[in-house]
A and B are shown apart, each in its own frame.
Chain A
């Protein structure tokens, strides 16, 4: 049994809950190396997504992710808006109108999301950005897709993203506002990598 629109809606709702719950933590992470607005921006963006979904409930997972993309791009404000927006948009395109998403399609959607972020932000692995959570997550998802269990794909992606976020601690930032800090960015965890891990963990919870 694959994933459907109900999973996507639960994923977005759990993501919104996670952003609200970790709002202060993300703000604190962003304070020394950014403009301390990541938590506030993500919380506001996902709250707006919830409003949109309530107004016009999408009928497919792809439609739900596309609605999320457009809303985040307009409401987040910071760099996370176009980056997560592009990610959700590319994932929505990869899903198409499928409503029984299998492991391979899910892994392909995560891959499309990551590729969109890389294309938009032009960051590479090791630059201390959300790419450092997304790339290991995609690698783990693709590796887990072989056994055709969507739950295993989701769990592998979330776990790898969490480890990826931790791996940004010693990195020197080479992209975004943090790169202006040079050496002083070392020792701080990238907030975008942390929010990525939270969102991918929410996807696990949504699958029950």
Chain B
């Protein structure tokens, strides 16, 4: 059982395409598209959004996170939530649609709860941290240095795996100074094969986080 995702877009094609893209990285997550109007035009439809939210609600009780595109998609989603029997089971993520959806899908795939899935989506929105890393005041409780061994280095899928896995742990993690919970920051490291990644973690799950990253990075993220 995982958190479900609903994509509300003005365009049916965008919603369907976004779902297709995110599903590649999260095969076990129920991701539903609610794009376009009832008659297939550009716009959003309360009926379509409500149908998706109800289908998601029927699937399990783990909560639903909604990703939206332009302003009125947000308004339609908010209206739909007001009509639901259990509005608290649905969270709206304030995140860019595609990047946010992919981050949310990966977090949901790793078993994160609804609040953590929403947070994973919203984390991609924040501007990259200043070079002096934001958690400098916390002493690292666990560290590690791991070499990137996969051919493609740090691209979207490894960054999503790292950020998604860490979103379920109670730890502050930096990787070469980048926030480990931010897919965007990780991708902006531009780390290629052979780069040594310096991991610093603090918090209750610090050791677990470093172990998790050791496994992922030295295992090449399961890639060639």
Contact = CB atoms under 8 A, between A and B. Distances in A.
Nearest to A176: B71
A81 B71 contact: no
Interface in A54-87: 70, 73-79, 81-83, 85-86
Q: Which of A37, A76, A83 has the most CB of B within 10 A?
A: A76
Given A82-B79, A85-B79, A120-B79, A73 B71 contact: no
Nearest to A83: B75
A157 B118 CA distance: 42
B43 A77 contact: yes
B38 A81 contact: no
B44 A77 contact: yes
B46 A81 contact: yes
Q: Which of B37, B45, B75, B78 has the most CB of A within 10 A?
A: B75
Given A73-B46, A74-B45, A79 B75 contact: yes
Contact of B37 (A70, A77, A79, A86): A77
Contacts of B47: 74
Interface residues of B, number: 16
For the residues of A in contact with B, the DSSP-based class is helix
Please tell me the size bucket of the interface on A.
20 to 34
A96 interface: no
Q: Which of B42, B47, B79 has the most CB of A within 10 A?
A: B79
B46 A85 contact: yes
A71 B44 CA distance: 13
A82 B43 contact: no
Interface string B66-95: 000011100110110000000000000000
A105 interface: no
Interface string A30-45: 0000010100010000
Contacts of B75: 79, 82-83, 86, 120-121
B193 interface: no
Nearest to B79: A82
Contacts of A85: 46, 79
Contacts of B198: none
Contacts of A79: 71-72, 75
Nearest to B45: A74
Interface string B158-183: 00000000000000000000000000
A86 B79 contact: yes
A70 B45 CA distance: 10
Contacts of B43: 37, 41, 76-78, 81
Contacts of A41: 43
Given A73-B76, A73-B79, A120-B78, A82 B46 contact: yes
B133 interface: no
Nearest to A117: B75
A176 B73 CA distance: 11
Contacts of A176: 71-72
Contact of B76 (A82, A175, A177): A82
Given A83-B75, A121-B75, A77 B42 contact: yes
A41 B45 CA distance: 12
Given A85-B46, A120-B78, A78 B38 contact: no
Contacts of B38: 74-75
Contact of B41 (A70, A77, A177): A77
A123 to B, nearest CB: 10
Interface string B31-43: 0000001100111
B46 A77 contact: no
A37 B42 CA distance: 10
Nearest to B44: A77
A75 B76 CA distance: 11
Contacts of B37: 75, 77
Given A73-B46, A81-B46, A82-B76, 8 more contacts: A73-B76, A73-B79, A77-B37, A77-B44, A79-B75, A81-B44, A81-B76, A177-B71
5 contacts: A73-B46, A75-B37, A77-B42, A176-B72, A177-B71
